[in-house]
Chain A
Amino acid sequence: MKKSTKYVCSLAVAVIAVALLFALDANKTGAGMLISILQKSAILAVVAVSMNLLNGFTGLFSLGQAGFMSIGAYITAILTIPVKNLDGVYYMSGIAPWLRALKEGMEASPSWLQAIYPFLAMIVGALVAAGFAALIGIPVLRLKSDYLAIATLGFSEIIRAIFSSPQMDQITNGSYGLNKVPTFPSVFGLPSLFTPFIVAAVSIALLVLLINSTYGRAFKAIREDEIAAEAMGINLFRHKEWSFVISSFFTAIAGGLLAMFMRSIEAKTFSITLTYDILLIVVIGGLGSVTGSVLSAFIVTASKEWWLRFFDQPLIIGGWQVPLFRTGFRMVIFSLLLMIVVLFYRQGLMGNKEFTWDGLARFFRKLGKKPAQAKGGAEG
């Protein structure tokens, strides 16, 4: 395929995506479901890609995503809840005086500053998460595979327990969670509907740049063979630490987006099942493929929240009610699909390859050829 054709294709996809978003914005009430699924997919895509940076590209099996997301989400929420809503939110134990003072100070600042506060809040959350990652990385990254997974999982649960503990009542509102979080702010004067997509696109673009840099290549070398990588002069610990910190940073950015998306958060949201959901997306998309993670974030979210919904409704065919079709059955089907993927299609959608237009063209050519007994020609 010619280079210019590829550019045209990519441009066309981008234009269609933007046009679709404008169309959705014009028809907010009718397309509410679709909008929220797309937004959630974009947010999960960021987490999936940053988890992939760690698990797929650096070969560190970490399960701490929910913990880092909760740091980002809580900090973003606390910093963005408007002062006038504070008493309603912290109705049980009240808000800590210093926090109230800080927030009143924030609201007294000039309006241009206030416009970027939500983004600053997200970045602060992400920086705090990255700081935590750097700290716990020092002991934890010396561990290998399963042990690393257990240690990071433990960290994530500790964070959750701290956020919901009564001692934190005046800051995180303990087990009552936070609500009245303002929705997405708008950027560049575009409708606020666009924001999660823009933040997600920027985050993923930065991650892709990192993966394709010399650093990214060193990450892959560590994944492939630690001893050889070390013999090449790659400092194992420093690279693992960077990978962990950067991954946590973007995970927390996504956490902030999630807080704005859900409008209310509680510690329970960030339990191990959230990490598990993201792991699913990464595995289905293919470990070591950014495009795979993004595609599968959209596909998995859409099927979980939408396409497979009909399994939850009772189904009657010719007066006979099909058994099993009731609330919760969707999850059974989903788990079955997952087992099928793991058993028969272990590489996921994309394996460790990236999506290319050439790849797509080849795929369709192969589909067309198949009935006519395709020749096994080598491709160069």
Chain B
Amino acid sequence: MLKISDLYVAYGGIEAVKGISLEVPDGAIVTLIGANGAGKSTTLRTICGLVKPKSGSISYLGEEITNVPTEQLVKKGITLVPEGRRVFPDLTVEENLKIGAYLRSGEDLTEDFKWIYDLFPRLKERSWQPAGTLSGGEQQMLAVGRALMGHPKLMMMDEPSLGLAPLVVQGIFDIIKEVHKQGVTILLIEQNANMALRIADYGYVLETGVITMDNTGAALLSNEEVRAAYLGKKRK
């Protein structure tokens, strides 16, 4: 579905991503794990058109999308759930969701609201509340719901577990699985390698802008090096 080949991204003189290639097959959950500064977010932002790449190509459903503006990508079905949730704090939950469907304005959204509220009953209870008054976990639900309102085919999530309590993180990953069941392909970026690899079909390990390993989620999870570097297990 999404294919990145030999992508280089630089901020000024500093190269954040140094020639990575990866592939997200249709209907899969693919995860990109790595420490701070490995270039995970940069990769996502480049796919979204928020940052221009230095070289390399990104294609989506066989179509070149390397320098396509964000707006067009959203229309094509690629949606980003940004890092740190970024809900619109002074707007109500319902308004937030409506903005998610911005490019489909004019259409009847009753069905979509029903879908989202079935998925997240908590949001329905709070539909009139300003989003800024929700808890972190609820805000993450809202961010996911808002992205779903645009009917994405590919949903990219930037560290959805950031700053959430372990119990809430579990809930968020359940949501990701649920969304995936609804037929959305997911590209997940995480520092919480344990959780991410557990639900992922395929995983890539990113280190200082280079992909050092890639394998199925389960294989990476049992890989000695990954366990040592990201899961806090001692080498034997």
Chain A partners chain B: yes
Contacts of A288 in B (CB 8 A): 90
- Does A221 have its Cβ within 8 Å of any Cβ on chain B? yes
- Does B11 have its Cβ within 8 Å of any Cβ on chain A? no
Q: How many A-B residue pairs lie within 8 Å, measured between CB atoms? A: 73
Q: Which of B190-213 contact A (CB under 8 A)?
A: none
Mark the stretch among B32-40, B70-78, B164-172, B178-186 that contacts chain A: B70-78
Complex interface bits, B34-78 against A, C-beta within 8 A gives 1, otherwise 0: 000000000000001010000000000000000001110111000
CB-nearest residue of chain B to A220: B91
A228–B79 Cα gap in the complex (Å)?
A: 11
- Does B230 have its Cβ within 8 Å of any Cβ on chain A? no
Shortest Cβ gap from B161 to chain A (Å): 18
User: Is B150 touching A232 in the complex (CB atoms < 8 A)?
Assistant: yes
CB-nearest residue of chain B to A233: B74
Chain A contributes a number of interface residues (CB within 8 A of B) equal to 20
Pick from B87, B88, B128 the residue with the most CB of A within 10 Å. Answer: B88
CB-nearest residue of chain B to A221: B99
Mark the stretch among B100-108, B111-119, B215-223 that contacts chain A: B100-108
Partner of A233, one of B86, B89, B102, B128: B102
User: Is B82 touching A231 in the complex (CB atoms < 8 A)?
Assistant: yes
User: Is A232 touching B74 in the complex (CB atoms < 8 A)?
Assistant: yes
Contacts of B86 in A (CB 8 A): 225, 227-228, 231
Complex interface bits, B129-158 against A, C-beta within 8 A gives 1, otherwise 0: 000000000000000001100100000000
User: Is A229 touching B99 in the complex (CB atoms < 8 A)?
Assistant: yes
User: Is B95 touching A217 in the complex (CB atoms < 8 A)?
Assistant: yes
Contacts of B70 in A (CB 8 A): 230-231, 233
- Does A218 have its Cβ within 8 Å of any Cβ on chain B? yes
Contacts of B105 in A (CB 8 A): 214
- Does B80 have its Cβ within 8 Å of any Cβ on chain A? yes
Q: Which of A13-37 contact B (CB under 8 A)?
A: none
Q: Which of A226-262 contact B (CB under 8 A)?
A: 227-235
Q: Which of A359-380 contact B (CB under 8 A)?
A: 380
- Does A195 have its Cβ within 8 Å of any Cβ on chain B? no
Shortest Cβ gap from A359 to chain B (Å): 15
Query: Given A214-B105, A217-B99, A218-B99, A233–B90 Cβ distance below 8 Å?
Result: no
Partner of A234, one of B71, B79, B89, B95: B71
A63–B105 Cα gap in the complex (Å)?
A: 32
Query: Given A214-B102, A217-B99, A221-B99, A231–B80 Cβ distance below 8 Å?
Result: yes
Query: Given A214-B105, A225-B86, A232–B91 Cβ distance below 8 Å?
Result: no
Cross-chain pairs A/B with CB under 8 angstroms, 26 sampled: A214-B98, A214-B105, A217-B91, A217-B99, A217-B102, A220-B88, A220-B90, A221-B88, A221-B99, A221-B102, A223-B90, A224-B89, A225-B86, A225-B87, A227-B82, A227-B86, A229-B99, A230-B70, A231-B48, A231-B86, A232-B99, A232-B103, A232-B150, A233-B75, A234-B71, A352-B90
> What 10 pairs across the A-B complex have the smallest Cβ distances?
A233-B74, A224-B88, A228-B86, A214-B105, A231-B80, A233-B103, A221-B99, A235-B71, A233-B71, A225-B86
Excluding A231-B86, A233-B71, A233-B74, 8 further A-B contacts by CB distance (< 8 Å) are A214-B98, A218-B102, A227-B82, A230-B70, A231-B48, A231-B79, A231-B82, A232-B102
